[in-house]
Every structure is written in C-alpha cells, then in structure tokens.
Amino acid sequence: MKSAAVDVRAEIAAERRDLADVLDGLTGHQWNAPTLCSGWRVREVAAHMSMGFRYSFVRTALELARSGGNLHRMTDRVARRDAAVLTPRDLAAALRDNAHHPWRPPVGGPAAALGHDVVHGLDITVALGLGRQLPRDRLLIVLKTVKPSTLRFFRANLDDVELRATDLEWSYGTGTQVARPAQELLLLAYGRTLPAVRADG
C-alpha cells in the first residue's frame, strides 16, 4: 500500500515536470489559445493548475467565501485574475518548482491530484494539437479515479453508455458502447467535449 502511494507521487512529479517543459515551449499565440476548458485559454488553465501551490488553505477559504461558497465560480475568478498578472515563465516555473508539492483536491488522495494535473494538461495539449501521449502507467492510475461522483462533478452525461478503451484493458459503465483510445475516454469522463470522443460517434 505504501509503495503504491509513492508510485503515484512519483507520477505526479513527473507529470508536472513534463507539463512545465510543454509550457516552456509554447509561443505567445499558443498561450492565448483556447483549451478544452470552456472559456479558458492556456494561461488560465496553467494559472488554475498552480493555484494549490501558490495559495494557502486560509487564502483559498477566503477566496471561496468571496465567491459565495461556489467552487466553480471561485476557481474561474482566480484563474482569470492570476493569468492576467503572471507571466508564462512564472506559470511554467510554478509547476516545475512544485513537482513534489503535496497539494491534493478537497476530495480524493494522490490519485485525484494526479488526475487534476493529467486532465488539465490534456486540456492544453489536445486543444493545441500537440499529440502528447500519456505514459501507460500514469494513464491507468487516473482511469481508476473515474466513478459516478467524478461524472457528476464534471457534469459528464454518460447515462446508458459504456466506455471501452481500444488501446488497453479498461471499461466503465453499461449501455451503448463508445470504443476509443483510453486517453480520449478519460476526457469524456471528465466532461470534456471533443468531436473525437463524442458519445454519438
């Protein structure tokens, strides 16, 4: 059990360093390009990803209170504000310098923290058409975070749908089968919309 947790933390650190390298290689135009997160450019997604490193628990609680306790409203407001003042170099460095930071989402352990980094990384790289493929072990860890509460939180409507990966042994749900590469199915489960992963195929 202990070794599994260590493995997840190692994957978190590797993912953050990998994404920092991706961000460092982007052009100014790409930093302002839209992502799979509706309404957010690359810079807003990067600002959001690093919020947990830059904000203390108390400051986060204050920001949440200022947003009436609405988590989605708070993260949107803070991401837009921070993206306007932090440079691309600042945002990439925040990921690299905090590769081993213990932050995790309010619900879930290290696997949920890895899922947060992986999915937001895909929000950027898929939207930009960079063709980045996640390492298999990393992807498998995050696929295990897909459950009913995940779908509800990200408003993924997958009622009567079975997600079935074509490139590894993984499936989720029952009903009409949607067979795609696992990386695309992960995005679908996390409420993202892509022509390549639309449930109606």
30 and 84 both lie in a single domain = yes
Band of pLDDT at residue 1, cut at 50, 70 and 90: very low
Q: What is the CATH classification number for the domain harbouring 122?
A: 1.20.120
Among 128, 144, 160, residue at a domain's last position: 144
72 and 155 both lie in a single domain = no
186: its two tokens: 């992960």
Query: Considering its fold, how many domains does the chain have in total?
Result: 2
Domain containing residue 121: 2-144
- The answer on pLDDT for 86 being more than 70 is yes
Q: Taking residues 72-82, what's their average pLDDT? A: 95
119 and 178 both lie in a single domain = no
What pLDDT was estimated at residue 6? 53
Distance (Å, rounded) from C-alpha 162 to C-alpha 196? 16
Reported in sequence order, the residue ranges of 88-193 that DSSP labels E, i.e. its strands, are 161-165, 171-172, 176-180
121 and 191 both lie in a single domain = no
pLDDT tens, position by position, 128-153: 999 999 999 999 999 999 999 889 88
Reported in sequence order, the residue ranges of 15-165 that DSSP labels E, i.e. its strands, are 161-165
Higher model confidence: residue 201 or residue 52?
52
Q: How much is the pTM?
A: 0.90
pLDDT tens, position by position, 90-126: 999 999 999 999 998 877 789 999 999 999 999 999 9
45 and 81 both lie in a single domain = yes
40 and 133 both lie in a single domain = yes
116 and 163 both lie in a single domain = no
What pLDDT was estimated at residue 4? 54
Among 124, 144, 164, residue at a domain's last position: 144
Q: Taking residues 147-167, what's their average pLDDT? A: 92
Sheet containing strand 176-180, edge to edge, reads 171-172, 161-165, 176-180
Average pLDDT, the chain: 91
Reported in sequence order, the residue ranges of 17-166 that DSSP labels E, i.e. its strands, are 161-165
Among 144, 164, 182, residue at a domain's last position: 144
